[in-house]
Structure 1
Amino acid sequence: MSQQLELLTESPAQWTTVSLLTPEIQKKEIKPFVILALKELEGNPDSRTSSLMNADKFSAVREVVRHFARLRSATKDAWHLDDVQTFLEGLRFSPDCVAELTSLLCMDQMYSNIPTHLRVKPGLLSLQWKIDVSLSQSTQQRNKESLQRTTYVILTIKLTDGQTNTYRLSIDKFQALRYSVASALKSMIVLERRNCMRKY
């Protein structure tokens, strides 16, 4: 599975309702729905949206457009046709709709005005660390030429937008980072267990 397809399909549970509606959508409805969805996401909703006869089908297409817009803002890479087609086929769109929607979602112009509220920071692709032990001359005892050993942790972080960042941390700072990450994860687990955060 490619990296793009893995990114697109990372939360399969969110597409359960959408995949129930997609087989009913016709090819002629795709382009108008995409245009209306883009206008709504850009903060300029069309008055026709409120009077749509097929509001459920529009909602399904809007969810797909929103998903692609969010992920595109994170990765900055153009979508691969095969990955988009595979994802849409998994949502049970008809072959005609898959072809039409793929051609629209792979157009760069579609993402030129991605709204600020949809933009996401790049995700973490990989994290590597190693121990760096360096020997430095003690400033207090230069005349005796004594050596002092200093230990650091080198973190190399790769992001989904292609950036690679390297950090050099002391052991204390590294332990503080570990504690902060563990605390954040614990808070997320507590939140996920609350009824208001569960999807029905």
Structure 2
Amino acid sequence: MSQQLELLTEVPSQWSSISNITPDIQRKEIKPFVVLALKELEGNPDSRTSSLMSVDKFAAVREVVRHVVRARSATREPWELGDMKMFLENLRFSPDCVAELSTLLCAEQLYTNIPAHLRVKPGLAGLQWKIDMSLSQANMEDADQKQILRRDTFIILILKLTDGQTRTYRLSIAKFHELRFVVASALKSVIVLEKRKCMRKD
């Protein structure tokens, strides 16, 4: 799976209800829905939105557009047409709708005015780590083994981001364990939050 496709499909559970509606959407409805969705996201809703007959269909397309626009702000690379088609096929759009919608969503001009509230920071695409131990004859003589490990051992973290950047950090063992604790605590909080009734989709 490519990094782009992984970014598009990062929360599979959110699409279960939408994939029940997408097979009924017709190709001729795609472009008007996308235009209306973009206007709404930009803070300039079109009056025609309130009088739509196919509210569920529009809501499904709007959710897809919002997700793709938001994910696009986390990467500097244009969407690959093949990845976009695969994403839409997995959402059970018809082949005609996949062709129409993927072409629209891969057009770069669509993302020139991404609203600030939709922009996200780059995500984590990959993580590598290694141990950096600086030993010399001098520090071997004036310290025991545990002191050397505690004082002269560092963890090198290499983070690859979804926008193509690479960040490198050098942490002491103590700071590395502090980072592990903070990440574990954050994940635990997310799990607790997801279990709350107000966070569940009907």
Fold in common (TM above 0.5): yes
Match of 1:34 in 2: 34
Shift of 1:23: 2.0
Residue 197 of structure 1 and its aligned partner are, at CA, apart by: 2.0
**Cα offsets for 1:39-94 (capped at 9, x unmatched):** 00011111111111111111111111111101111112111111111221222222
Deviations 1:111-157 (A, max 9, x none): 1111111111111112222221114767xxxxxxx666422111111
3-state SS, counterpart of residue 75 of structure 1:
coil
TM superposition score normalised by structure 1: 0.89
Check the 8 A contact 2:75/2:163 in 1, yes or no.
yes
Please state which structure has a larger fraction of its residues in strand.
1
Greater mean alpha carbon deviation, residues 168-177 or residues 62-71: 168-177
Measured against aligned partners, the alpha-carbon deviations of 1:15-53 in whole angstroms (never above 9, x if no partner) come to: 122222222222111111101100000111111111111
After the TM superposition, list the runs of 4 or more consecutive aligned residues in structure 1 that deviate by more than 3 angstroms: 135-138, 146-149
Q: For the residues of structure 1 that align with 2:193 and 2:61, how far apart are their CA atoms? A: 29
- 1:195 aligns with 197
Structure 2 gaps of 5+ residues are none
Q: In structure 1, what is the equivalent of residue 178 of structure 2?
A: 176
2:24 maps to a residue whose letter is E
SS in 1 for 2:74: helix
The percent of aligned pairs where both chains have the same amino acid is 71
| Conservation of the 8 A alpha-carbon contact between 2:75 and 2:162 | yes
Gaps of 5+ in 1: 139-145
Range with greater deviation from structure 2 (102-111 or 153-162): 153-162
2: CA distance between counterparts of 1:156 and 1:92? 37
How many residue pairs are counted as aligned between the two chains? 194
**Residue type of the partner of 1:24?**
D
Counterpart of 2:164 in structure 1 is 162
CA RMSD of aligned residues (A): 1.9
Larger mean CA deviation between 37-46 and 2-11 belongs to 2-11
